[in-house]
Amino acid sequence: MSEGFALTESTYYILLSLVKPRHGYGIMQLTEELSGGRVHLAAGTLYGALNALSAKGWIIQLPTDDESRRKEYRLTAKGLQALKIEVARLRELADNGERILREV
Amino acid sequence: MEDRKTIRKWFWVWSFEEEEDWLNEMAMNGWVLESVSLLTYHFARCEPGEYSVRLEMHSYDETYLSFMKETGAEYIGRMAMWIYFRKKTADGPFDLFSDIDSRIRHLDKISKMLAAVGAANLLIGIANSFSPARLGWINLLCATLLMYSLGRIHGKKEALERERLLHE
């Protein structure tokens, strides 16, 4: 998952959800809402992705004073940059698809 | 009518999906998994189809368990390296993995465990073959079985990797 590679659908929606601080369940709900119920993030997959994205420095876990509270995450500047690059890449894919299919 | 029942059952490591199917079938029939102990499943009565049950191999990880709780899953218990969760079907779909990558990572985790335990049994088996008790064959048998399991898990992983070539 390095810069220049396509993000997975899960990663893309996780990053999109974390433009604002959110906890795990909040990410699952927003992803489902944004995709009209099409993309369902399973908890184990999400947990693995959050750890990988934290290790990569694309998201950070927000500090809490209360340990029992749900842990919240937010996008870092690096994560935001990666997200913007991905949106541009997806636009290129969709534009090309539409342009070529118009001629069919 | 009894409210509880206990079933002793054996599943090979490569049939963890069958184990999960069986637990969900039990829940469909009004028996939800309530706790686990060595090769033993304890069930309680529930409404038929009230719960979905999921299991995975996961090392001891308190952070993961509290994360799962946040997402609405209830931790049932642990049997050796396997942990069991359930969630009410009314609270939405319940899966542990939603893409091919995380399924492959789960199989990798199982493979690593099998390889480690298998290698340990092989070494102990070889060492014990020279001891007067001559019990090394037990470990060698275990090692053979673990290596066979590793092969079965690897087969599952290859099938997912073929799928991964086309989509995620």
The interface predicted TM-score of the complex, written ipTM, equals 0.86
Distance from CA of A104 to the nearest CA of B (A): 24
**For chain B, what is the largest distance between any 2 Cα atoms, rounded to a whole number of angstroms?**
61
Q: Which one-letter DSSP state was computed for residue B91?
A: G
Reported pTM: 0.90
B57 contact residues in A (CB cutoff 8 A): none
Residue among A24, A39, A44 minimizing CB distance to B96: A44
| Domain range for A28 | 9-102
Alpha-carbon span B73 to A48, nearest angstrom: 16
Quick: pLDDT tens for A54-89. Answer: 999 999 999 887 776 788 999 999 999 999 999 999
Using CA of residue B70, residue B72, residue B76, residue B79, what is the dihedral sign?
Answer: negative
Distance from CA of B42 to the nearest CA of A (A): 24
Task: Kindly state whether residues B52 and B131 are assigned to the same domain.
Answer: no
* Per-residue confidence in pLDDT tens, chain B, 168 aa: 789 999 999 999 999 999 999 999 999 999 999 999 999 999 999 999 999 999 999 998 999 999 999 999 999 999 999 999 999 999 988 999 999 999 999 999 999 999 999 999 999 999 888 888 778 899 999 999 999 999 999 999 999 999 999 988
**Which of A27, A47, A66 best tests the B interface by mutation, with the highest count of B CBs <10 A?**
A47
Tell whether A17 is covered by a domain. Answer: yes
Question: What tokens appear for B26 in the block?
Answer: 């039990």
Task: Kindly state whether residues B16 and B82 are assigned to the same domain.
Answer: yes
Q: Which one-letter DSSP state was computed for residue B75?
A: E
Q: Does A14 touch chain B (CB under 8 A)?
A: no
Tell whether A1 is covered by a domain. Answer: no
Question: In whole angstroms, how large is the CA radius of gyration of chain A?
Answer: 15
In chain A, how many domains are there? 1
DSSP A12-77: HHHHHHTTS-EEHHHHHHHHHHHTTT-----HHHHHHHHHHHHHHTSEEEPP-S-TTSPPEEEE-H
A33 contact residues in B (CB cutoff 8 A): none
Q: What is the pLDDT of residue A2?
A: 47
Task: Kindly state whether residues B86 and B114 are assigned to the same domain.
Answer: no
Q: A51: nearest CA in chain B?
A: B64
Q: What is the pLDDT of residue B149?
A: 97
Domain boundary among B65, B91, B117: B91
Under 8 Å between Cβ of B131 and B82 = no
| Domain range for B45 | 4-91
Task: Kindly state whether residues B81 and B109 are assigned to the same domain.
Answer: no
In chain B, how many domains are there? 2
Q: What is the CATH number of the domain that holds A88?
A: 1.10.10.10
Tell whether A3 is covered by a domain. Answer: no
Q: What is the pLDDT of residue A70?
A: 82
Residue among B70, B97, B168 minimizing CB distance to A42: B97
Question: In whole angstroms, how large is the CA radius of gyration of chain B?
Answer: 19
Q: What is the pLDDT of residue A1?
A: 44
